[in-house]
Chains A and B, each alone.
Chain A
């Protein structure tokens, strides 16, 4: 088991002539909750998609537990995309069975407990749920895996504040010294309290990687305040 769970090496990605990521280099150790923060279109989602093999890099590479994205890394990465990717003709119970079938590290009991706590009817078909509840189901399924790396792309975009608190508590509850959680978001005030480390990304470049303690002691401000200062329009 590598101490470094996630590593970007000279990673670049262009869509045609438009660069989305420019020679990114950083790594993340196990046992951290990391905020991948940046304004819209900064390259956060592109980076996460490359880590999940949904996009191919133009140059450079991503290593997860020392391996390029592939079948082996997909076993240890739990990914929450920024859109609803679940088949909407299934009911929640069928979706839980689906996840249980494909992921060895999926904890069925945990999924049922979370659906109960969030008031989701497991017999309801996904297509009958509201957008917010669909997002909750997707998050429940993602967080019910005992993964080494969680890659959460905008996990709180469409849910109410009470659910946001529940999600953050779930993320903290999942925390252990072997797993790392990467939260990509621009809702910094909401996630700040759970973060150990932040990476600021802008125009496809990493502009800052610091621990939250360093930001508070060295810069004398919150992550939210620093973000507003760095990305001032």
Chain B
């Protein structure tokens, strides 16, 4: 059933987000093309300048809209599809509440990451169209990477994997924290949205207190190793691993909370 839910969710969010992502891509290319086209006469120059500025502004606005919308759609889909009228359908399907959460989470994270990837690729492509590869010193880029590799004492892959895992976990945790807040707020009899915001602020404060306390403890333990770069490198991996474990625990906690409120405290009045 998760596969069917995923198919439905991808379609529901994609019908809004995919055209915007495509527009970002096209606008990126168009804006760099218009900036590159040489002006023929003086009359054309003004028109071309106007168009190139217009496309560049539109491109930047579209990137902002795409990023904001990918977050907004994730929240809206969860609230509207599970706690408003559509909730009468989705919560009476023969699926577990956890499947409903997982399907929405996967789709939200995939579209949010896809949005970033599209923005990055269109940015790089625009740069290449406008400046070409002449301005890029590939040798210098490779040397910079080599330097970083040396600095990290052969642990590059561990760092890379940890950073990617942490990035994905952050996306998951942010979405799940919002889901948990919405689920808590909508178990109330009245002022559900206000109580959802209150629940979010509450969860945020709790997580900040936990983070602050754990960071303090960590640096108290490893105080002696922070003075030189070599020792700092040694504790960087355990530090990153610790953050990953903590972020994973947040994900589990928010998920359990959301599932509990959907299963045991659903209140579709």
Give the complex CA separation of A83 and B92 in angstroms: 14
Q: Is B264 an interface residue (CB 8 A)?
A: yes
Give the complex CA separation of A81 and B88 in angstroms: 7
**In contact, A54 and B12 (Cβ under 8 angstroms):** no
Chain B residues 66-106 with CB under 8 Å of chain A are 81, 85-89, 91-96
Least CB distance, A47 to chain B, in whole angstroms: 13
Chain B residue nearest in CB terms to A72: B94
**In contact, A53 and B92 (Cβ under 8 angstroms):** yes
Given contacts A74-B94, A75-B94, A79-B92, is CB(A87)–CB(B12) below 8 Å?
yes
**In contact, A85 and B189 (Cβ under 8 angstroms):** no
Chain B residue nearest in CB terms to A103: B94
Q: Is B125 an interface residue (CB 8 A)?
A: no
Question: For residue B1, which residues in chain A have a CB less than 8 angstroms away from its CB?
Answer: 102
**In contact, B94 and A55 (Cβ under 8 angstroms):** no
Question: For residue A84, which residues in chain B have a CB less than 8 angstroms away from its CB?
Answer: 85
**In contact, A85 and B88 (Cβ under 8 angstroms):** yes
Question: For residue A85, which residues in chain B have a CB less than 8 angstroms away from its CB?
Answer: 85-89
**In contact, A71 and B95 (Cβ under 8 angstroms):** yes
Q: Is B4 an interface residue (CB 8 A)?
A: yes
**In contact, A102 and B87 (Cβ under 8 angstroms):** no
Q: Is A98 an interface residue (CB 8 A)?
A: yes
Q: Is B204 an interface residue (CB 8 A)?
A: no
Q: Is B267 an interface residue (CB 8 A)?
A: yes
Given contacts A16-B189, A71-B95, is CB(A49)–CB(B89) below 8 Å?
no
Q: Is B15 an interface residue (CB 8 A)?
A: yes
Question: For residue A77, which residues in chain B have a CB less than 8 angstroms away from its CB?
Answer: 92
Chain B residue nearest in CB terms to A78: B92
Chain B residues 177-193 with CB under 8 Å of chain A are 189
Q: Which listed residue, B4, B96, B268, touches A101 by the CB 8 Å rule?
A: B4
**In contact, B269 and A15 (Cβ under 8 angstroms):** yes
Q: Which listed residue, B85, B189, B264, B265, touches A83 by the CB 8 Å rule?
A: B85
Secondary structure at chain B's binding surface: helix, strand, loop or mixed? Answer: loop
Interface size counted on chain A using CB atoms at 8 A: 25
Q: Is B257 an interface residue (CB 8 A)?
A: no
Q: Is A211 an interface residue (CB 8 A)?
A: no
Give the complex CA separation of A86 and B12 in angstroms: 13
**In contact, B8 and A98 (Cβ under 8 angstroms):** yes
Q: Is A179 an interface residue (CB 8 A)?
A: no
Given contacts A16-B189, A85-B87, is CB(A102)–CB(B266) below 8 Å?
no
Question: For residue A74, which residues in chain B have a CB less than 8 angstroms away from its CB?
Answer: 92-94
Chain A residue nearest in CB terms to B266: A54
Q: Is A56 an interface residue (CB 8 A)?
A: yes
Chain A residues 33-65 with CB under 8 Å of chain B are 49, 52-56
Chain A residues 73-124 with CB under 8 Å of chain B are 74-75, 77, 79, 81, 83-87, 89, 98, 101-103
Least CB distance, A91 to chain B, in whole angstroms: 12
**In contact, A15 and B268 (Cβ under 8 angstroms):** no
Give the complex CA separation of A161 and B88 in angstroms: 26
Of the listed residues A49, A72, A86, A102, the one surrounded by the most CB atoms of chain B closer than 10 A to its CB is: A102
**In contact, A56 and B264 (Cβ under 8 angstroms):** yes
Q: A54-B87, A85-B85 are in contact. List 14 more A-B contacts (CB 8 A).
A: A54-B88, A54-B92, A56-B264, A56-B266, A71-B96, A81-B85, A81-B89, A85-B86, A85-B88, A85-B89, A87-B81, A87-B86, A102-B93, A103-B94
The chain A residues found within 8 Å of chain B, CB to CB, are 15-16, 49, 52-56, 71-72, 74-75, 77, 79, 81, 83-87, 89, 98, 101-103
A-B contact pairs, 22 of them (CB 8 A): A54-B88, A54-B91, A54-B92, A54-B266, A54-B268, A55-B269, A56-B266, A72-B94, A74-B92, A75-B94, A77-B92, A79-B88, A81-B85, A84-B85, A85-B85, A85-B87, A85-B89, A86-B89, A101-B4, A102-B4, A102-B94, A102-B95
